[in-house]
Structure 1
């Protein structure tokens, strides 16, 4: 068990290690849903085993789906039921897992029959759901809810199809959830986007995965998308197996590590044609001054000790899960870092914009916070600082990377992380992995 608060031991030598990243949460949860909707059995290889994916898997079991898990081999096998939910009723608890909440809501509404309840922790009850609920109701779903939030009660009778309007600016998961169940509707589904500024990269991931599970490509229009189910079936298993990529959001922490400690980190398994938009964080680190190589074996990030890392100004709207990684190391960069496009992250696990500003100020930084941006002016770091994580895994992992900087010059911890166990949401072994990298680098 990790100490709480957890002290981060700095790197005294340049990083030099290969890091085995966990599987992508976004891909694992989408693949679980699509495999459940498909005809036939599908084995997910390289799947993520974490709190969020456990919630998704447990919910599918409660709905009567047959799942076999092998955590040691990172495999999950699920028997698809071609759009049906085996259990006639189920009560689902999604905790703080927004992905599971939205995807399971859509799945329950698309089922031919059944009665389902969905609820989560108090913070999840505040996260946006209304846009998805309104769109599903427009397609014929019967949903009882309090003002568009959890808890929900769904009486399933399938979806009629037709035209709907959806605002996905608060979360692209709302659109992804709707798109994945659209092929089950009794008629084509045309989705008009109320605002074009949604996070398109995650929706593109969803559409590419739908194609791998046997659907024809969705057709884009000037203001939305058209999904037409293939005649005769909704989905089919992609040859009985589906490979889950390593998590690109998790990769951001280890791409930033050489900037903090100098050295070289290798991240095997991330393909050139990745489904994940967060691989674009590598370009942010390249702008900071790192050398990035992307070969057949994955990503390699190198940062020589003699280099001075440069501050950058970036719009993070498309890759906002990684903005905290850059913000946390901004005190070490030469110049003013400006991060924009992050207003929607105020409605995630916590208000990430406000929380990041608060923690950086505790570290002595001058921070200008606006609704959609942070501007970070480096100041001398304050040692012996305890970082509050707000039960948010990305605060814990981002500031842990900053703590790897040898601020005191003696290799002793100067920064501690409260509630390090919150990383179980997406990266249960993050701190063990970080320590393994430090130990290997010390020996190299």
Structure 2
């Protein structure tokens, strides 16, 4: 479905931040890898977290859910496909695919289908495939892409290498898997390691589940003792900074009086940096007791920002910078090219359609701000990408004419009620019949 975004000069209201998708998927996996019952309070509901729920059920976990929590009975170190069809469908969830490729290597055969050939089906997984083969798995694939079939079940520990140049999710998958192997495992990250902050989240969750992992200070080397057992635990999911970044950007570019609750000040989510960027852009706000209150006049100044640690908030930051005074630069963001779409080339192309003055480099987005606003009055393509949809909506709120975002329903991948939240703040957004 498409969405029409009509210019909206003022936003006001009070909303509760969505629960973190990243923490939800990790807690679900840690709980499934434990024997016994774990409880996860305030889990996120999105296509990604729902894909993890569905696949864990298929692997033998039992999930019971009410309005506030999930009670999950895990399969421990012995996943088993239920029913015996040897297939898993992760939808369009890249992190879920990669995490479960590791766990699937414990089974004799698992086939991951290609449900989204134009999105996840285009993303590369070679580095994880290579690492799992070092552990003894045999994997068939299409040039590193879906569909992927894993023949495992007889893995061994030892010393392995994995590249972190494309995605930190490959390393996270190995960190979840390695404690279950009989032998100790050492992991050396080669090349660069993208999104180290997200690896920190993975380590945080795994250690909460009772697992011992020794990590070097730079997160490039690991020693994981073998024959460990995940413990059943009670977890509480914090508010989601990646999705909230778009709401905060919308408040920043508008004349606003917006309160967003549930965002922990000391969160380890890298996208918490949206708070620092708004501060650098001279947006008036307070952040205390897990509550952010933005009271903006829509007047912003340009910034320079290293986006590697805050990957999922960069597009929202760029959207705000479209209306800032001066030239902004977001650098060290090449891994944006390897997401649901090429979040540099594809996003910049759509921003230009809407009237923004933006440039791209291999690992940078450069924004020449237009405080007077952009023209709008166009249809733009979301490229099946939830982050692109949210960020382009921010731009539409300050355009001079409405914009239509095609395939905006893909926002449900991480933030199903994004447009409901914007409407609650007074934004003029409406679904269109296809």
Decide: shared fold, TM above 0.5.
Answer: yes
CA distance in 2 between counterparts of 1:243 and 1:376 reads 38
Aligned match of 2:76: 82
CA distance in 1 between counterparts of 2:354 and 2:9 reads 21
CA distance in 2 between counterparts of 1:117 and 1:93 reads 9
Deviating more after overlay: 393-402 vs 290-299: 290-299
Q: Which of 385, 395, 404 is residue 397 of structure 2 equivalent to?
A: 404
User: Compared with structure 1, are the counterparts of its residues 401 and 365 closer, same or farther at alpha carbon in structure 2 (3 Å cutoff)?
Assistant: closer
Name structure 2 gaps, 5 residues minimum: 429-434
| TM-align CA RMSD | 2.1
CA distance in 2 between counterparts of 1:68 and 1:360 reads 43
**Contact (CA 8 Å) 1:65, 1:86: kept in 2 or not?**
no
Shift in Å, 1:302: 3.0
User: Compared with structure 1, are the counterparts of its residues 283 and 175 closer, same or farther at alpha carbon in structure 2 (3 Å cutoff)?
Assistant: same
Residue 347, structure 1, aligned to residue 338, structure 2: yes
Partner-residue secondary structure (3-state), 2:325: coil
CA distance in 2 between counterparts of 1:8 and 1:125 reads 29
User: Compared with structure 1, are the counterparts of its residues 438 and 222 closer, same or farther at alpha carbon in structure 2 (3 Å cutoff)?
Assistant: closer
**Contact (CA 8 Å) 1:168, 1:175: kept in 2 or not?**
yes
Structure 2 length-normalised TM = 0.91
Residue 415, structure 1, aligned to residue 412, structure 2: no
Number of residue equivalences:
422
Partner-residue secondary structure (3-state), 2:375: coil
**Contact (CA 8 Å) 1:327, 1:356: kept in 2 or not?**
no
CA distance in 1 between counterparts of 2:38 and 2:26 reads 13
Aligned match of 2:8: 11
Partner-residue secondary structure (3-state), 1:194: strand
Q: Which of 267, 278, 283 is residue 285 of structure 1 equivalent to?
A: 278
Shift in Å, 1:354: 0.7
Aligned match of 1:361: 352
Name structure 1 gaps, 5 residues minimum: none
Equivalent residue runs for 1:174-189 within 5 Å: 174-189=170-185
CA distance in 2 between counterparts of 1:331 and 1:59 reads 39
User: Compared with structure 1, are the counterparts of its residues 383 and 116 closer, same or farther at alpha carbon in structure 2 (3 Å cutoff)?
Assistant: closer
Shift in Å, 1:337: 1.5
CA distance in 2 between counterparts of 1:256 and 1:439 reads 13
Shift in Å, 1:234: 1.7
Shift in Å, 1:373: 1.1
Equivalent residue runs for 1:211-226 within 5 Å: 211-220=207-216, 224-226=220-222
Aligned match of 1:437: 425
CA distance in 1 between counterparts of 2:348 and 2:56 reads 38
User: Compared with structure 1, are the counterparts of its residues 224 and 342 closer, same or farther at alpha carbon in structure 2 (3 Å cutoff)?
Assistant: closer
CA distance in 2 between counterparts of 1:60 and 1:277 reads 27
Partner-residue secondary structure (3-state), 1:242: strand
